[in-house]
Structures are given as structure tokens and as C-alpha cells.
């Protein structure tokens, strides 16, 4: 969120993959993606300033070793239960990854940190009675579908919430603010719509939820509701046909909710720009009073709600008709700006508490330059089951580790040391990777060659989608030439990638775990996935 922040504009998967999901149509794409990532890592670890060594034999072996069934088994094991950072279920995934690494030929270990995480204690939302409007409470529940084989596990999903939301109760009229840009609030002001003291209703898309709530607070709103509009995430249907959603299509169901974090920084909120420590150790921290008064915290209560709930609120609103670009899709009601007559009663109480997170590492020592590091990273925690984000990436990384172990058995050693990293608490604020980077900043600044990130490995049809700093462009192209395209086996990933404009985009922002390496340390970095290409 991730993202993994919210606002990544993808459907949060609420269900673990079935055996058919794990071994079905995505198998070839998963296999090719693993091969691409493995070859890229090998090239970075084995090359000297992009000049080939005599390791081409081992590079070729990457494409022949391993089985997609292994990655599928990892994916299923990691997604059997929801595993939010700081929970017992997520600690179990850390033990799983540690065991997977340790069962190979590599030394592996866990590095824990005690960090500030945020969980919901109480949520309530209702429309108050008004002239011509009956009072209506919202259940704030994501419904499972009939016959869902994972309904019991889905009951473990945390209630929908925004991490680090301000706690409090607000009763106020509603104002519709489109996607919550500053420009949207400027438009409301130009129309004479007063947002001060009101509840801002905004829809997902364009910007991250922390920006939406931050902008609502800056406009004077007392609280914010962020809903998922069917226009953006509910799919479409041909005229006369019924719209479909999960499990019959990839779109978010009417009661589906996107959750996320509202903290505006990276890393443990109590240790900004310096490392946290393990539970029981002493380290400098900001107090809760200092945090509550900081610009990094949202400062107002906020809740994410479903498309159905958002539409219900919009139907109860009056005022001027919103401009055409602010309207919903086919079949949606007319969106109006407000304020009122709809009045919302909103209460959110959260629990911000120090909790233990666990980064898991495996190290493959380099033969010629052991003090130079190629780092492969992927986060492990998820808001729910994490079948795509992030554990499709974790499964790929564990498959790569197994291939590297098999190569070692055949006499291979990387020129440089490879560090495999399973990050924790990415969804809250890139916490695991940021704390480790802060703790090891001087060493990484002098020794890290590259950071290769894979948050989501495969999420649909399409093609390879690499984002990188310019130093890695040629390596990406070279690695992609070595891997057949899963949709067009007569061509390579390079052939199809080069059709995109641009074929390689730049890593930017702080949407996933490359942020600390690029922005704090300046390590050449790559983030990659396979799916729908824009």
C-alpha cells in the first residue's frame, strides 16, 4: 500500500487462492516472471560494470531449474489466513519464510523491531434522520459470496479501517468533494460550498487515501469518508447485461472496501529518520502527544466505505448538481455537492500500540566481492489474505531462493553477496524496510549495488512492467531477452516490453519498499510486476 499504501487502484483480494487459482492460467506468467527476476538478480550479482563474466552457463540454468508447483505451494501456504502486521498470523508467515530459507543452503535470520501500529477498536456510521429522510445505520461489513469456501477464514479479517486515523465522534452535514484533490476543494469554494466543520465524502482514485484525508483536513472538514465508486472499481457491462464482480469477474463487489494507512511518512512513526529497536531495548521515540500534534498524522476521524454505502450517502444529498467529471458511471444516481441535507454520525476509535514486526533475511555470500550487496526484497504482511499483494511476490522470491540453492549445489557462487529480504509492516508505512535501511544506512550507502523489489509479481494478463532508476535499464533489457513471453512463446519478454511507451518507467514516490533505498540512500533500484499495461 500497499502501496503498499492504499490508492494503488487494484482490487484488494479477500480470499485465499484455491488450488485451481494457484496452478491455473497464471502459471506460465508466474514461471516467466520468476525466471526474469532470477536472471536479473544473477546478472547484477555476477557482472562487473555490465561486462559479462563466464557465468552464462549458470544464467541459462535459471530457466531450467525449479517448478511452478513450488511457487504455487508457497503462495497457498502464505495466504491461508489474513495476516496484518503485528498479528499472530503474520508471525506465522515469518516463521514459514524463515523455514523456507533455512531449509536451503543459506544462513537465515529474523530481525525484529518494536514499532507503532494501529488497529480499530470501534467504528460506527449512520445517516441521521432529516426532513424526508429516515435514519439509517451502516453495517460496515464486507459480505462474502454464497458458497465461499473461505468464509470462515474471512471472518478473521480486521474490520475495515484506516490505520492511524484520528479518533473521535463527528455529527455533521456531508459535502461531496470528488477525488479529494486540493483543486476539488477550490472548486467547491468557488461554488460557495462551505466544507468547514462538515464530513467530506471523497472517492478512491487519482491520489492516495492519506492525501485525500490530509486535503480534507486542510479544507476544514471535521471528518472524511472515502468510498469506492463503482465507476472506477466496479467494472462495466454491455447494454442489457448485468455487471459482474468477484468471484465471477475481477471487479470489487458492491460491499467491498479498500483499506490503507493515513500516516504521511515512511517507517515507524515514533522514530522518524532514525531506526527503531527490538522490544525491551531502549531507543529514542516521539511521544504520542508529539505524534498527535504532527503534520504526518491525519488529525481527523476517517473511514473507508463500500460503493454501496457511498452511493446511499450520495442519494441522500442535496445542493447543486456536481459537474459531469464528478459524476458516477452508468446507473449511478445524480451526484450533488451538498452540504446536506444528509447528516452523518461518524465515530472511530483506534488503538495505536507498539507491536513487534519481523524482517526475515537469507544471505548468499559472494565469491569475489562479498562486501558488495545485491538486495532482493518483498514485503510479506497484507491487509487481508494478500494473494496478489504481496505474496505473489513472496512466492516468486522463495522460488528464486530455491533455484539459487540448486545452483550452489552445482558449483555456482555469485560474484557479489545476494541478500534476500522479507519485509514486514509495509502496508502501514513501509516500516520494515525503512527501519532496516535506517539502521544500516552507512553500510548500504557504501556497499549496496542494487535493490530489486517485487511487491506484486503477477496480477493479470498483459506484460512485464519494470520501473527502475536509469542505471539498471540495460540490465533489464538484457535479462528480458533471455526469457520467453508466456503469451507469445515465439517472442521474448524484451520483444513485448519494447512495444510499450516507455518500455521502462521510473521508480517514483513512496508506494512500496524501494523508497528507503532510492530516496534515503541513493541505491539503484528496480520494481517490477507482470500484468495490465497502460
Residues recognised as catalytic = 426
CB 364 within 8 A of CB 417: yes
Question: How do strand 416-423 and strand 369-379 relate by DSSP bridges?
Answer: parallel
8 Å CB contact between 513 and 377:
yes
> Maximum distance among all alpha carbons in the chain?
80
d(CA 171, CA 237): 37
**CB under 8 Å to 359, separation ≥6 — which residues?**
110, 111, 112, 113, 421, 422, 423, 424, 432, 433, 435, 436
Exposed e or buried b per residue across 53-74, where buried means at least 16 C-beta atoms within 10 angstroms of its C-beta: eebeebbebbbebbebebbbbb
Under 8 Å between Cβ of 17 and 252: no
Distance, CA of 312 to CA of 133 (rounded, Å): 12
Whole-number Å distance between alpha carbons of 383 and 159: 10
Rounded Cα–Cα distance for residues 307 and 232 (Å): 10
Which residue is associated with the grid cell 479529494? 180
Contacts 24+ apart (CB under 8 A), 438-445: 438/267, 438/271, 438/273, 438/274, 438/275, 438/516, 438/520, 439/275, 441/520, 441/521, 444/373, 444/517, 444/521, 444/523, 445/521, 445/522, 445/523
- What is the rounded CA–CA span in Å between residue 261 and residue 471? 32
Cell numbers representing residue 257 in the block: 472496501
- Closest listed residue to residue 434, CA positions, set 264, 271, 211, 282: 271
φ/ψ of 51, rounded to 5, equals -95, 125
DSSP state, residue 519: I
Per DSSP, helices labelled H in 173-287 are: 182-190, 209-218, 230-233
Chain centre distance of CA 40 = 23
Report cis status (omega within 30 of 0) of the bond before 145.
no
Cβ contact 289:210 at 8 Å: no
Secondary structure, 3-state, 384-426? CCCCCCCHHHHHHHHHHHHHHHHHHHCCCCCCEEEEEEEECCH
5 φ/ψ angles, rounded to the nearest 5 degrees? -70, 165
Amino acid at each position: 500500500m500497499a502501496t503498499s499504501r492504499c490508492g494503488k487502484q487494484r482490487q484488494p483480494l479477500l480470499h485465499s487462492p484455491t488450488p485451481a487459482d494457484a496452478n491455473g492460467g497464471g502459471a506460465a506468467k508466474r514461471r516467466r516472471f520468476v525466471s526474469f527476476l532470477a536472471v536479473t538478480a544473477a546478472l547484477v550479482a555476477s557482472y562487473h560494470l555490465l561486462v559479462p563474466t563466464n557465468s552464462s552457463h549458470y544464467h541459462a540454468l535459471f530457466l531450467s531449474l525449479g517448478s511452478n508447483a513450488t511457487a504455487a505451494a508457497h503462495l497457498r501456504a502464505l495466504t491461508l489466513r489474513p495476516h496484518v502486521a503485528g498479528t499472530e498470523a503474520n508471525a506465522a508467515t515469518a516463521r514459514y519464510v524463515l523455514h523456507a530459507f533455512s531449509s536451503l543452503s543459506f544462513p537465515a535470520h529474523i530481525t525484529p523491531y518494536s514499532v507503532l501500529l494501529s488497529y480499530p477498536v470501534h467504528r460506527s456510521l449512520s445517516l441521521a434522520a432529516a426532513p424526508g429522510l429516515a435514519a439509517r445505520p451502516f453495517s460496515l461489513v464486507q459480505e462474502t459470496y454464497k458458497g465461499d469456501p473461505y468464509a470462515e477464514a474471512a471472518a478473521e479479517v480486521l474490520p475495515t479501517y484506516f490505520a492511524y486515523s484520528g479518533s473521535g465522534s463527528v455529527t455533521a452535514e456531508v459535502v461531496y468533494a470528488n477525488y479529494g484533490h486540493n483543486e476539488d476543494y477550490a472548486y467547491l469554494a468557488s461554488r460557495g460550498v462551505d466544507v468547514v466543520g462538515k464530513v467530506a465524502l471523497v472517492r478512491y482514485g487519482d491520489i492516495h487515501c492519506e492525501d485525500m484525508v490530509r486535503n480534507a483536513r486542510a479544507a476544514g472538514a471535521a471528518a472524511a469518508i472515502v468510498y469506492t465508486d463503482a465507476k472506477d472499481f466496479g467494472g462495466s457491462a454491455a447494454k442489457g447485461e448485468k455487471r459482474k464482480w468477484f468471484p465471477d469477474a475481477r471487479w470489487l463487489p458492491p460491499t467491498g472496501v479498500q483499506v490503507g494507512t493515513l500516516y504521511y511518512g515512511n517507517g515507524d512513526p515514533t522514530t522518524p529518520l532514525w531506526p527503531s529497536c527490538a522490544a525491551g531495548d531502549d531507543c529514542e521515540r516521539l511521544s504520542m502527544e508529539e505524534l498527535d500534534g504532527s503534520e504526518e498524522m491525519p488529525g481527523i476521524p476517517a473511514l473507508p466505505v463500500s460503493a454501496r454505502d457511498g452511493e446511499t450517502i450520495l442519494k441522500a444529498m442535496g445542493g447543486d448538481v456536481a459537474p459531469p467529471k464528478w459524476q458516477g458511471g452508468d446507473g449511478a444516481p445524480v451526484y450533488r455537492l451538498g452540504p446536506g441535507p444528509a447528516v452523518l454520525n461518524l465515530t472511530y476509535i483506534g488503538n495505536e500500540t507498539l507491536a513487534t514486526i519481523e524482517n526475515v533475511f537469507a544471505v548468499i555470500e559472494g565469491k569475489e566481492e562479498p562486501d558488495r550487496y545485491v538486495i532482493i526484497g518483498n514485503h510479506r504482511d497484507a491487509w487481508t489474505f494478500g494473494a496478489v499483494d504481496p505474496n505473489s511476490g513472496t512466492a516468486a522470491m522463495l522460488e528464486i531462493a530455491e533455484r539459487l540453492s540448486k545452483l550452489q549445489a552445482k558449483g555456482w557462487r555469485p560474484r557479489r553477496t545476494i541478500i534476500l529480504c522479507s519485509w514486514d509492516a509495509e502496508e502501514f508505512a513501509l516500516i520494515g524496510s525503512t527501519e532496516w535501511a535506517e539502521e544500516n544506512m552507512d553500510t548500504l550507502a557504501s556497499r549496496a549495488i542494487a535493490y530489486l523489489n517485487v511487491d506484486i509479481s503477477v496480477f493479470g494478463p498483459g506484460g512485464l512492467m519494470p520501473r527502475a532508476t536509469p542505471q539498471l535499464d540495460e540490465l533489464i533489457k538484457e535479462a528480458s531477452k533471455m526469457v520467453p513471453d508466456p503469451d507469445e512463446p515465439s517472442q521474448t519478454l524484451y520483444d513485448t516490453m519494447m512495444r510499450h511507451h516507455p518500455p521502462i518507467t521510473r521508480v517514483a514516490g513512496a508506494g512500496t519498499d524501494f523508497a528507503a533505498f532510492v530516496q534515503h540512500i541513493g541505491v539503484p533500484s528496480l520494481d517490477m510486476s507482470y500484468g495490465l499495461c497502460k
